[in-house]
Amino acid sequence: MKPREQERELQRKLVDSIVFVATNHQPQDWLPMKVTVIEYPEDENGEEQQRLAECMLKEIFESEECCMREIGTATDEPYGVSEIINKSLIEVWEKYTHICHKEWRRNAIAYLKANTKAPESIIEAFVDTQWKKEELFADNLTEFNKAYNYK
């Protein structure tokens, strides 16, 4: 796989995991947090120019949209979670894994239930014995499917 494809795959997995947590069992004190987004405003000639902006991520929605406020402004703006650069997405995920003492198990079970047809007893056994908390949900799902062949 080419590096750009790997980067897009990582972004997709991060967005999937972050949005799932945010819309199901978001831990207390996870948001708001500072992130960097990529914007493409038009210059005076009408051409798009890439610009990085520092924002406070305030809320994430199931639609993969989020509410952010650019630092130094007073207005909340809608963004797509995928507009957050991968470095910041990783920081958001790492903060989740650091503070999710109680929520991680419930979120892991809910994610596998939503993405497999496995019985709850199998899901709970996998989560209790093989789930890797620091890994993205999609990577744990891949391991679950390898171990139990449920899809």
| 60 and 122 together in one domain | no
| 77 and 10 together in one domain | yes
Query: Minimum mean pLDDT among 28-32, 41-45, 59-63, 89-93: which range?
Result: 41-45
| 84 and 107 together in one domain | no
Closest CA to 115 of 132, 98, 127, 130: 127
Average pLDDT value over all residues in the chain: 92
- pTM of this prediction exceeds 0.95: no
| 124 and 147 together in one domain | yes
| 65 and 126 together in one domain | no
| 140 and 81 together in one domain | no
| 80 and 117 together in one domain | no
Sheet holding 33-39, edge to edge: 33-39, 51-60, 65-70, 76-80
Q: Tell me how many domains the chain contains.
A: 2
Give residue-wise pLDDT tens across range 99-144. 887 778 999 999 999 999 999 999 999 999 999 988 999 999 999 9
Q: Residue 66: is it exposed, middle or buried by C-beta count within 10 angstroms (0-12/13-18/19+)? A: buried
pLDDT at position 151 is: 65
By percentage, how much of the chain surpasses pLDDT 70? 97
Contact 23, 99 (CB under 8 A): no
> What is the average per-residue pLDDT within 85-103?
90
d(CA 36, CA 38): 7
SS3 34: strand
pLDDT at position 52 is: 95
| 5 and 17 together in one domain | yes
| 33 and 92 together in one domain | yes
| Residue 99 φ/ψ, nearest 5 degrees | -105, 0
d(CA 108, CA 144): 11
Residue ranges making up the domain that contains 144: 101-151
| 28 and 80 together in one domain | yes
